[in-house]
Amino acid sequence: MTGNISQGDDNCSSEEDVPDLHPMLASNGINGYKIDLTDKCNPLPPHTLDLVSEISRKNSQKRQQNSTTGLSTLMNLLRSNLGVGLLSMPNAIQDAGYILGPIGILLMGMLACHCMTILVRCSHALCHHLGVSSLDYADIAELALSYKLGLKRSSILARYVINMFLIITQIGMCCTYFLFISENTARLIVMSGGPYFSTHTMILYFLPLVILLSFIRSLKGLSPFTTVANFCYLFGSVIIITFSIMTIINRGGLGEGATPFSSTGYTYALFFGNVIFAVEGIGVILPIENKIAKPQLFTPLLWLTIIIVTLLFTVVGVSGYIAIGSELKPVITLEFPLHITSPYQVVYPIAILYLVVGTLGSYVIQFYVPMDIIEPVLLKRVSRKYMKLFFQLLFRASVVLFTAVIPILIYNIKFLIDLIGACSGSFLAITIPALLEMIIFSGQRRYGLPFKVWIIKDIFIFTFGFVGAVFGTGLTIFKIVTTET
């Protein structure tokens, strides 16, 4: 049906890994590629050719230059993996135990990173073969089914499914961020000697501010939030680790109920959802990779990010769990003492303030992703500029209001984290990349192995992600229903 796509190594730009571009594209002048018209490829299906033309038009409108430095790329990758998931790691360790938990975090981090590199390689292979400069996640899924399998209707459905999971994941993250900001601000006010406010009241107080921040519509305008969020989370992590160590010293041992392994096996499904929520940054991987000036640096920087994040998650998670024990609250900052009784405790309210500011910045950044997917479709038929701006701002305010209502209905942040991680995060980060690799590189040698051998790896990854998603989602929904009632 189609031309062959080579396997590619970590650096997909080497000559031996780049297949010939499709000759059909040369006749249409897409991207100005010089292609040998004598290549004996079969012509592209009409739907695929239309799709490639649309992707090329979209890329030309963006006019993005690859000017991001390695350091900027590292900061963006860290930002995509640092968030409320870091602060819920002690609770995740509680679900698995302080021995099995760190092993699980390490394995899940490595698996997530491997699946991210799979997605990048799939993008490179299709870009080089079809003559487009860049692809997003939904583009890859649609092209995989349309170009490789010739399934027009299914390919369109695949795009909708990917975008649906991306929207659910990013909006879900915004919901958890809203709840974290409100809960911890209420606690910060009490720690500072002020009156008590309920979490629901704080959500309403923050709503106008978050709506105004959501009106920032350009990536350039969001760039300062990346640096601020990274700094705030790294500073907060140091304080959290210090708090955990001091708690263990003052107590003279581990917290009550801290165990090396979970006593109930079903909680490992909750651990799966929590960790996936924390390490899942696959929705922003391709935009970051597309902007780096030296693409050969991306994979090493990605692995460096995962090493840093995995180490940070493990230290924060284990130290927090063994310090507090089985009575852990959903996020570790809620364990900070309400009243300052010694000089070193002065840093606790400062840490909460930094983490609230960092989470507010992360909210604005995560909010951009679903807006970038929905708004072009929603505003496509609005021609007048001022009307388009009005509807855009109204829609953004409505979505922010939605992210404020959900935390009011599901007020336990752990339930939100577990549900988002298991339901949509696992499909995006694990299951779908494995499926795409099997489709795009079907029949090819990869990792120095024949297709019949390496496909076993992808089948295992696909099955693991699917089973984890089903059990994790089902168990979390059950706990939400039984707890709320």
Extents of the domains making up the chain: 68-363+370-484
Q: Let me know: does 424 contact 416? Beta carbons within 8 Å.
A: no
pLDDT, residue 34, reads 33
CATH no., domain 68-363+370-484: 1.20.1740.10
> What pLDDT does 47 receive?
63
CA dist 111 and 77 (Å) reads 16
CB neighbour burial string for 313-325, b if at least 16 within 10 angstroms, e if fewer: bbbbbbbbbbbbb
Q: What is the pLDDT of residue 114?
A: 93
CB-based contact 353:279 (threshold 8 Å) = no
Which region, left, alpha or beta, applies to residue 425 given φ > 0 means left and ψ of -120 to 50 means alpha?
A: alpha
pLDDT attached to residue 3: 46
Q: Which residues contact 4 (CB under 8 A, 6 or more apart)?
A: 19, 443, 444
CB 283 within 8 A of CB 369: yes
Q: Residue 15 has what pLDDT? A: 36
Spatial neighbors of 422 by CB under 8 A, at least 6 apart, are: 269, 272, 273, 276, 468, 469, 471, 472, 473, 476
Split the chain (485 residues) into runs of 10 and give each run's mean pLDDT: 44 40 40 35 60 65 61 83 86 91 93 92 86 85 83 85 91 91 92 89 94 83 77 89 89 83 80 87 81 85 92 92 88 86 83 91 86 86 82 93 90 83 88 93 85 91 92 87 68
Q: What is the pLDDT of residue 4?
A: 47
pLDDT, residue 29, reads: 38
The reported pLDDT for the residue numbered 46 is: 65
Q: Which amino acid is at 429?
A: A
